[in-house]
Chains A and B, each alone.
Chain A
């Protein structure tokens, strides 16, 4: 299960503190060197249930999910009000905002230029996963 390698290329440990060790009085900072920041642990909480997918389109921009981004999808999460979900509607997979009002559940776009999303009354709807994070390259490789 190498999803980790894929998430951000090779593991990229970032040391919190690094000082050369000197003989004599030990550096008081050494006591604080404990761990390295691991971006993968930040993005992936439940590894077997987490998948990466590529975003294609602009319907989620208000939710800050942009065309070409990597969405981190955790299938073990239950959707909560306002979550971005990956949902299969009549065999078509897409991103939607998941909302609940009382017993009523509705799906929405997150782009003011899009019309209100209307679900066909007889549509077959299945939640594929909940978006738990995203990776947005701010400077694409040349």
Chain B
């Protein structure tokens, strides 16, 4: 087998970089992006990091500081980030036909066919093209395994003098960096495993590489053995170029304000259920049971706490919104207790099956009318595609102005690339 080579390319402070592409005034100033419902900081530019904003820091804790320091703060704009991600990946595809989109801002590329001495040039060319075409700055790491590519990417990110590219398939580079990377910075090694590896006397990635595979397996199961192999340059993980069929699906949201009455809770759950139905239908999947949950917030420490999770079984697998809404509101009614301030609710399914291949219930014993259901859902989805998500919802989800618990986007930038009425405006003056 010929030696493989993988590149991992990812966007630097991706969400913040997306904001910067469309607002020229953000170029040199600190920028952060908050998670759903403005919970916490999930993307920071270097300027914001330098001011001490940590990853995952809750918004309410840094609000005053951001104001004082002039940090520009944005709610997440997933329509924009998703579109920019698709553009960046389209550029990657010009450089390698085999790519795995690992997350919204990270992709693995198979570059085994590129000659060793050309790999770094390719990576720099790709980086330059992505920057020019989309405006997004990236870093590229190259390695003979995915784990090493990820390590190389980490090195490129932490060492600006490398110009955003690090190639660990170059033996000299490999020997130089592998002894300098702490155990906790290796892909897939969380704090618990880092402690286990340190207990085995490992300080650096090189020490982990040199472990006896049996010792590694004992400490970290088969994952540890694979890690050692990958660090040695023996690929155990290939690209997942085809999106794996979903095993589960969840729709959960924090309320923008606490919910204390059952009507609002039922409305919220009905909306989550219809969103779930939409997601399942898009992939032709179905479920015959859903878990409905809601709970109070640990931030309300002085208040009574309650957490509910209940499984509602459906007569047969379905992705019909109306059936899912019925199940969801049933779950709420069955478990509701007033006197609490609920902060979050959601609906989760596991064991998804393709709708077409699922077991049917007997007619008259819970069998759903799939033909009529499918036609109705098709019309529903078409309306929502055309007029925007949530344009048509089951009555149980309530009328638009009343859906106060839907996601908070107080500081979201315009959806510059996907909405005609939100396009960037450029001055001709």
Residues on A facing B (Cβ under 8 Å): 1-3, 6, 9, 46-49, 51-60, 65, 67, 70-71, 75-76, 86, 88, 91-95, 128
Q: A1-B90, A70-B423 are in contact. Are A6 and B418 (CB under 8 A)?
A: yes
Cα-based distance from A3 to B153 in the complex (angstroms): 30
Q: Are A51 and B24 in contact (CB under 8 A)?
A: no
Write the chain B residue with the least CB distance to A76.
B133
Contact A95 B426 (CB under 8 A): yes
Q: Are B423 and A75 in contact (CB under 8 A)?
A: no
Q: Are B429 and A58 in contact (CB under 8 A)?
A: yes
Check B427 for interface membership: any CB of A closer than 8 A. Answer: yes
- How many A-B residue pairs have C-beta atoms within 8 angstroms? Tell me: 90
Q: List chain A residues, Cβ under 8 A from B132.
A: 49, 75-76
Report chain B residues within 8 Å CB of A54: 423-426
Residue of A nearest to B79 (CB): A2
- Kindly name the residue among A1, A48, A49, A58 whose own CB sees the greatest number of chain B CB atoms within 10 A: A48
Contacts of A65 in B (CB 8 A): 428
**Residues in A neighbouring B425, C-beta threshold 8 A:** 53-54, 56
Given A57-B428, A67-B428: A51 and B133 within 8 A (CB)?
no
Select B83's contact among A1, A57, A92, A128, beta carbons within 8 Å: A1
Which B residues fall within an 8 A CB radius of A? 24-25, 27, 83, 86-88, 90-91, 132-135, 416-420, 423-429
Q: Which residue of A lies closest to B428 (CB)?
A: A57
> What is the CA–CA distance of A49 and B129 in the complex, to the nearest angstrom?
10
- Chain A: which residue is nearest B23 at the CB level? A93
Assess the B429–A46 pair: CB atoms within 8 A. no
Quick check: B419 and A6 within 8 Å, CB to CB? yes
B428:A91 contact, CB within 8 angstroms: no
Task: Give Cα distance in the complex from A65 to B426, angstroms.
Answer: 12
Are B24 and A95 closer than 8 Å at their CB atoms?
Answer: no
Known: A1-B86, A2-B418, A93-B24. A46 touches B133 (CB 8 A): yes
Contact between B91 and A93 (Cβ–Cβ < 8 Å)?
Answer: no
Shortest Cβ distance from residue A46 to the other chain B in the assembled complex, whole angstroms: 7
Inside 8 A of B27's CB, which chain A residues have their CB? 88, 91
Q: What's the Cα separation between A87 and B268 when bound, in Å?
A: 45
* Bound: A57/B428 CA distance, A: 4
In the assembled complex, 11 residue pairs joining A and B whose CB atoms fall closer than 8 Å, in A order, are A1-B86, A48-B134, A51-B416, A51-B417, A53-B424, A56-B428, A57-B428, A75-B134, A76-B132, A93-B424, A94-B427
